[in-house]
Every structure is written in structure tokens, then in C-alpha cells.
Structure 1
Amino acid sequence: RELGIPPHRMMVVYNGVKGGRIPLKSRDPWLVGMVARMVRHKRVDTFLHAAARLVSIFPTVKFKLVGGGEREERYRELAKELALEGKVVFTGSVLEVEGEAERFAIGVLPSENEGFPNTLLEYGALGLPMVASSIPQNREVVEEGREGLLVPAGDPDALAQALATLLLNRALAKRSEKMAKRRAERFNLSRTKRNLITSYHRLLKTKVPSSSPEDIGS
């Protein structure tokens, strides 16, 4: 719109996520995790402040931050200031993110802004209930009370309350797991490839080939 392009001349093709991974049965029921780069807009500080509120209520709860970045050392120091040593694990940058995230009981994304939240799709593909900030991009993946819970960005009290709700209400968490998995299937990588190819052919006004997306480029 800012460029003066009319809506009928635009198409939206969302990012895709790999499906088919079977979640571990040995998921830790008290592990709350977040996958993110350690940068300001991801609001790792909100996650840590919420963690500090929860540890006084749930002695067995643990937290894991997966990812590295320019603010990692700052957040490690913040965790110490909040007396979270022994409660929060920082993995730093890892190659196999799914291997870390599949053990989470809940996946968190409290960002103040996002492009398109691939992290939420990855949580969903693993069947994780989610707590995310209620920003427009996140609401495209998480609907309140379905795939998880939404909270205001930058509000650690609301984040802690939402996490406590899912930790205590196992029925809600279980229902959210199923909904999250179903939502992620809508963004399956194969379907996304097909949609992209279809969009190109519409623009070019050519016929879409019958070959599957997996055949493209093989």
C-alpha cells in the first residue's frame, strides 16, 4: 500500500516449516523454553523477569534459552541479578534447534515485533503449547485459548500468569498442543512451495505443472 500497489495486484505466501517430526515422549513437563536470537526486540528480558516470578511459586520449574547474539552476556548477567542461577540454561548458538525445543513443555515468544514468527511455527510443528506476545504477526499463528495464550509485549507479570495457567491446567495445555500441531500443518513447507509456484504461474498467466513441490529443483 505504501508503494501504491493495489491489493488485487498483491499475493501473500507465508513461510513454511518442516513437518513430520515426532515429538519426544520424554518431554520435561516443567521446562519452559524460548528459541530466539539474543537481541533487544525479542524481549528476552521479559522472559527472565517472568521466570523470576515463577520460581517462587513452582520450585520444580526450569527455563532454557536457545540461541546466541549480541546481548547474550547481558542476559546472563540479568539472570544472575534475578537469582536464576541453576534455574535458567543458556545454550548459546546451536545447529540443532529442534533437538533442544522438543523437550520444552511450553514454547515462548515475547517479542515486541516480528517479521513472520517462524519460531511459533516450529513450536507448533513439535506440538508445543505456546505463550506469545499479542502483536499482529504472532496472532497469525496463535489464537488466544487455542494454540496457546497471548500476552501484552513487555509485561512479565502477564507472561508469568499465562505460563502458570498452562503449567497448572494440563487439559488446556493438551488441547493447545493439538491445535498448535494442526495450525503448523497449514504452513507445511511442501504446501508453501506449492503456493509459491502457483502464485508465480498466476502472475505469468501460465499453467501450473502437475509435478509435486518436492520434484522442483531435484
Structure 2
Amino acid sequence: MKILQLISSAGHYGAENMLLNLAKSLERLGCTCVLGVFENLHRPNTEIAEHAQQLGLQTVAIRCQGRADREAVRAIRSRIETQGIDLVHTHGYKADIYGYAAARTLPTPLIATCHNWTSASVSLRLYAMLDRWALRRFHRAVAVSEGVAVVLRRGGVAPEKITTISNGVDVAVFSAGRPTLAAEIGKGNRLVVGMVSRLVRGKGADDFLRAASDVLSCFPETLFVLVGEGSARKELERLAGELGIENKVIFTGQRADMPGVYASLDVFVLPSLNEGMPLTVLEAQAANRAVIASRVGAVPQLIQHRETGLLIEPGDVASLRNAMLELLADASLRAGLAARGQARVREHYSAESMARRYLSLYEDLLGGRARQCQGAVCHVPPIAHENRQEEG
């Protein structure tokens, strides 16, 4: 089975990590994944393509000059027709819209994974409206959590087209991480609290800093680390200065050594105001770290309060501070939460189990002739071919 995975990427974040985990695991199951990455004219970003190539995954660049780029649509359609693509799987509103435009008259099934929807700006609200229109016409829409499934149903996607499949991570990779960040930040014997996220509004990084300021009055040697990039970074750096904690807060930028980053932390925090199913929580748990996270999206599904982590209400700085203080003061509590969290991820949220669920969905969508894959029978329909020159 050959799957075209489409994504428009602004960096290496949750959806990108999920896609790489999925593609790697599907290839181990005998499928072939081609990653079609939009090469956006105004905001080019090749991180996911570079990571995919390092993993040995086939990637193609889809040049996109702006909105409603017909050449990009033709390029996608040409690849579907000429490269034996059996199924198109899209990730994100741009991939959904262009993928639908390219494949709408072909017999190739269309499936979308909906990671999360945001409507923070007028332009994004318009894109979300167009995305919902396209998704109603897809063969299947996968929600990463029940909360996202509810949004899809409210958006007019037929309930019978919606499937919920939880994200998964490669537990072996994260559990084997060595603390590569520790020496860089001068950890020594000090405790480190970290947050891994895009540095944008709504992720709660400002709450993280305000809580850190309070925690430092009790644990003055603690270090706080923000891993990631985003439009709010300078604003957050100013806030750290205003709070007088700039010498205790480290902004690392984007990192490629995430298993090593998690291994360098004692406590992981995700104080988001809104989430779908955050991979960073699963990654931190897979790395055997104690986790504090907001009770949003699918987070309560991932964390059983006081059993596999601590849950706080979004925007509640006092609760975040208290949770940090409790974990910093109690090493045995940190260890217990971390061990139970890791065991639960290994049992329920592995990348392989996620990939097997997607493969089963692919097989349900594909009728007709059967093609034998390693470990699975893949049903492949005949594909109409037209004589088109391949583009971009």
C-alpha cells in the first residue's frame, strides 16, 4: 500500500511528530509512505522534510506560491496518478483543502487527521470554515481525541465518517534518552522544570513563568527551561525580565535531541489553555518524567490525576505553582508518577498501536484488488491514470 501523506509545516511540532511516528511505523508494517511537504513561498520551512529524510522516508516538495495555487493542486494530482498512490492522508487545513482539490475527481480515497482547530484570527477562522467544507467531502476524518471529534460533528462532518485514533509515540526512543541538555544549562544537582511547546499565545508559557517566579522563592536553585520557538518568544523573554527571573529561565529554541531534552528534566509542564491530544505529554511520560498539565482537550485521557501525573485548571497560576512545589519537594512522588505514566503510555499509546489502527482504517477504505503487504493485506482499487507531466 502506498500512501501520500500531505502536510504544510511551520516547524517541527506536534502534528509533524505524529506524522513521522505514523510514517515510520507504517513502513515497518510493510506500507510505503511518501511525505508531501508544502514548500510555502512566504514562510518556507523544511524541518519536517529534513527529519523525514534522516529517518529514510521518501519526501517530495510541493511548491505553493500562495492562496489558491492551481499549480500546487496539479502537482499533487500528478503525483497521485503517476506514482501509484493508493490513498491520500492529509494533516492540517492547508493539506486538507489542497488534497481535496487534487483528488476530488479521482477514485483515490481521502482521509484527514484533525489534530486541533483554532480560530484565533479572522484569517484562520476563514480557513477553518473552508476546511470544514472540504472535510465533509472526505471519505474519513480522524480525530485525535473525543473533543476534536465533537468539533468535527458540530462542523457538519457526518458521524459515520469520524473515527477517533489517539496519537502514539516511540516509547523505546524516549525511554533511552540521555540528558544532553543538562550539561549545556549547568544543571549539576539542581532540579529542572521544563516546558516543550510552540511559544505562542494560548500555550500558557506566561503562566509557566509567573508560577516559576513564585516557586523560586521556595526553591531558589531551580532552573526553568522553555524549549521551542514562536511569535511570543520576545514577549516571554521580557516577562522573565520583568519578573526578575531571567537568570533562572533558559530559552533553548527548537531542539532536535528531544529524548535528551526530556531526560534532562525533573518535571515536565504543559499549562496550555487549549489542546487536541498533545504529543509532548506522551513523550515526557515515555521518557519517564513526572508531568503537570492543564485539564484541556485529551489531557485528562492521558493523565490520571495523582496516579500518572498532576492535572491543573487552565490559566490557574496558583494551582500550577502548588503542583510544581509539591513535585519539587517530593522525589518519591515524582518517581512514582513518572513510572506509572511511562507504563501506561507503553500499554496504550505506542506508535505501533496507532499505526495498526490507521492501517485497519486504510484497509476498510480500500476495496477491490488485494495487494499483499508485509504483515497485512492491503486492498487496492484501480487508479485512473491520465497523461500529465509531473510537477514540483
TM, length-normalised to structure 2:
0.50
CA distance in 2, matches of 1:184, 1:208: 33
1:188 to 330, 347, 350: 350
Check if 1:17 corresponds to 2:169.
yes
Check if 1:50 corresponds to 2:211.
yes
Change (3 A) 1:208 1:88: farther
Change (3 A) 1:197 1:79: same
Question: Percent of pairs identical after alignment?
Answer: 31
1:84 to 245, 249, 255: 245
- Per-residue CA deviations over 1:123-168 (Å, capped at 9, x if unaligned) read 0110111000111321121110122101111111110100111111
Check if 1:5 corresponds to 2:158.
yes
CA contact (8 A) 1:42 1:113 kept: yes
CA contact (8 A) 2:192 2:222 kept: yes
**Which residue is equivalent to 1:197?**
359
CA contact (8 A) 2:195 2:225 kept: yes
- Once the two structures are overlaid, the 10-residue window that deviates more, 95-104 or 39-48, is 95-104
- Per-residue CA deviations over 1:77-127 (Å, capped at 9, x if unaligned) read 100100102111000122223322221001100000012211101101101
**Which residue is equivalent to 2:259?**
98
Q: Secondary structure at the match of 2:325?
A: helix
Alpha-carbon distance, 1:204 to partner: 4.3
Q: Secondary structure at the match of 1:40?
A: coil
Check if 1:146 corresponds to 2:298.
no
**RMSD value over aligned CA atoms?**
2.3
1:94 alignment partner AA:
R
**Which residue is equivalent to 2:275?**
114
1:171 to 313, 332, 337: 332
Check if 1:155 corresponds to 2:308.
no
Check if 1:137 corresponds to 2:298.
yes
CA contact (8 A) 1:132 1:150 kept: yes
CA distance in 1, matches of 2:195, 2:338: 16
Change (3 A) 1:209 1:181: farther
CA contact (8 A) 1:64 1:90 kept: yes
CA contact (8 A) 1:29 1:105 kept: no
CA distance in 2, matches of 1:200, 1:107: 35
Alpha-carbon distance, 1:15 to partner: 1.8
Q: Secondary structure at the match of 2:226?
A: strand
CA distance in 2, matches of 1:42, 1:72: 12
Alpha-carbon distance, 1:181 to partner: 0.7
Alpha-carbon distance, 1:29 to partner: 5.9
TM, length-normalised to structure 1:
0.88
1:140 alignment partner AA:
Q
Structure 2 unmatched runs, 5+: 1-152, 377-392
CA contact (8 A) 1:197 1:208 kept: no
Matched length: 212
- Per-residue CA deviations over 1:61-86 (Å, capped at 9, x if unaligned) read 11100001101011001001001021
CA distance in 2, matches of 1:182, 1:69: 32
2:227 to 62, 66, 77: 66
**Which residue is equivalent to 1:216?**
none
Check if 1:128 corresponds to 2:280.
no
CA distance in 2, matches of 1:193, 1:23: 23
Alpha-carbon distance, 1:17 to partner: 1.0
2:374 to 202, 208, 211: 211
